[in-house]
Amino acid sequence: MLSTEKEESPLATPAAASCALVVGQLSEQEHEQLARAAARVGVSLLTCASIPNAIARLRNGKGTLGVVVTPQVELAKLVDAMREEAELFTVPIVAYVQRPSADGFRDAYLAGADDVLIASDPGGLTRRLANLETRSSETRPEVTQGVAVVVSLHEGARRRLGRALRQAGFDVSYAASVDEVAALAARGEPPLLAVATGEPPPSMVADPNDTQVVRRVGDVPVLFLGWDEQKGIQHSSEQIVDATGRLLFFADERTKAARFKDRRASRRELFASVCSFREAGSVLPTFAITYNISREGIYVRTLDPPRPQSMVWVELQAPSSGEPVHLRAQVVWQRLPSGLGIMPPGCGLRIDAAACPPGDLEHFLKGYELLIS
């Protein structure tokens, strides 16, 4: 196993301005595969065996496109260390796993990974790095989404949630209690949304149309995220999505509802589950997770989205029942890491109902209806 600190992979392009950092240990064969995959897009591959050395490297280095984390490393610990530092907050973190599995994906995404790379798909690293080359980690997006309030007494939660919202384009304010949100609304200055840590007060009535823990202060929707004094923000979800993912879905829904009322054919619902997709007729799948679904479409979260307008075949477990289904869809849009907006990188698929196996489509739609009921 490779466990020594390396300044640069011997296979990396000498003139490469950008690099990718591997944290942990790789076999000689794995290291060679990944180094060649990175070199195809002019990216050098660096390795660090430990989390402290990786953080030091990231602090001092420029042009780090992303971090690849091997199974020997405590992923959640690395994620926490990176997300605590403003200059590292947006650096993508990709978990490296030997084979696709529901448990492996669940553990990676709940630990805070942005994507998962399968060992048998080194080309997936090439495509991800090519996409990441288009982003600028130095520039924050303009404030275009409106005001969002983070309600928490916990400094770590305030930083994490506030940075996530600011990176999505919100003007972020902070409050110690929901009473302060109510005061803003009473003064005629209601924020677009708020997010709070802890349990909602019993006096706040649940929104019957929302499957997340959402309450309202006047017209302001407030998402409540569980809090544990030892572990911090809790995911409190059976789905493969961390607290930040739930927050961004909530924020995207509220933003679209405020701007584009009554334009949707059906309601989107958070649904994070392992899936695979491939261009029609291909035998080589790309593994990812779904992010949300509606009757007509699926949003797939990945740093390796397929081409817009291409036809894809998608395999996933139907919502609610877990029944394996095969669906066919068209890629109507993609969001690369450089793209503006609230959603994580990925692609929007429009289901081609006429091309889908009827039984599989029926299982999917039945599961969707149960999910929103």
Q: What is the pLDDT of residues 17-27, one digit of tens each?
A: 689 999 999 99
Q: What is the mean pLDDT of residues 81-87?
A: 91
**Could you give the percent of the chain with pLDDT greater than 70?**
89
Question: What pLDDT is recorded for position 277?
Answer: 96
Question: What pLDDT is recorded for position 10?
Answer: 37
Q: What are phi and psi of 246, to 5 degrees?
A: -65, -40
Q: What is the mean pLDDT of residues 342-363?
A: 96
Q: Within 10 A of 309 (CB to CB), how many other CB atoms are there?
A: 9
Q: What is the mean pLDDT of residues 123-147?
A: 84
Question: What pLDDT is recorded for position 184?
Answer: 93
Tell me the C-alpha distance between 365 and 295, whole Å.
6
Would strands 193-197 and 147-151 be described as parallel, antiparallel, or unpaired? parallel
Q: What is the mean pLDDT of residues 324-342?
A: 90
Q: Within 10 A of 121 (CB to CB), how many other CB atoms are there?
A: 18
Question: What pLDDT is recorded for position 143?
Answer: 85
For residue 14, pLDDT beyond 70: no
Q: What are phi and psi of 275, to 5 degrees?
A: -145, 170
Here the tokens at position 231 are: 């572990």
The DSSP bridge partners found for residue 347 are: 300, 334
For residue 176, pLDDT beyond 60: yes
Residue count (the chain)? 373
3-state secondary structure of 86: helix
Tell me the C-alpha distance between 324 and 57, whole Å.
43
- Residue with the bigger pLDDT between 313 and 373: it is 313
For residue 339, pLDDT beyond 90: no
For residue 304, pLDDT beyond 90: yes
What confidence category does residue 95 fall into, taking pLDDT thresholds of 50, 70 and 90?
very high
Question: What pLDDT is recorded for position 210?
Answer: 64
CB contact set of 123 (below 8 Å; sequence gap of 6+):
37
For residue 260, pLDDT beyond 80: no
Question: What pLDDT is recorded for position 4?
Answer: 38
For residue 15, pLDDT beyond 70: no
SS (H, E, C) 154-198: CHHHHHHHHHHHHHCCCEEEEECCHHHHHHHHHCCCCCCEEEEEC
Tell me the C-alpha distance between 198 and 160, whole Å.
15
Helices (H), the chain: 28-39, 51-60, 75-83, 102-110, 122-132, 155-167, 178-186, 243-259, 358-372
CB 47 within 8 A of CB 22: yes
For residue 340, pLDDT beyond 80: no
SS (H, E, C) 111-135: CCCCEEEECCCHHHHHHHHHHHCCC
Would strands 193-197 and 220-225 be described as parallel, antiparallel, or unpaired? parallel
Numbered ranges of CATH 2.40.10.220 in the chain? 269-372
For residue 256, pLDDT beyond 90: no
For residue 28, pLDDT beyond 80: yes
CB 294 within 8 A of CB 264: yes
Question: What pLDDT is recorded for position 240?
Answer: 81
Tell me the C-alpha distance between 273 and 100, whole Å.
13
Tell me the C-alpha distance between 142 and 150, whole Å.
19
Would strands 297-301 and 286-293 be described as parallel, antiparallel, or unpaired? antiparallel
Here the tokens at position 90 are: 């947006």
Top CATH class of 18-132 equals alpha beta
Question: What pLDDT is recorded for position 235?
Answer: 60
Q: What are phi and psi of 366, to 5 degrees?
A: -65, -40
Alpha-carbon distances of 39 from 29, 86, 130, rounded to whole Å: 15, 28, 11
Q: What is the pTM of this model?
A: 0.88
Question: What pLDDT is recorded for position 257?
Answer: 84
Question: What pLDDT is recorded for position 341?
Answer: 80
Question: pLDDT digit string (tens) for 185-235?
Answer: 999 999 999 999 988 888 887 766 666 788 999 889 999 998 776 666 766
Q: What is the mean pLDDT of residues 43-68?
A: 92
For residue 8, pLDDT beyond 50: no
Q: Which CATH number is associated with domain 269-372? A: 2.40.10.220
Question: What pLDDT is recorded for position 5?
Answer: 43
Q: What is the mean pLDDT of residues 240-259?
A: 88
Here the tokens at position 273 are: 């589950």
Numbered ranges of CATH 3.40.50.2300 in the chain? 18-132
Q: Which of 355, 353, 370, 305 is nearest to 331 (CA)?
A: 305
Question: What pLDDT is recorded for position 237?
Answer: 58
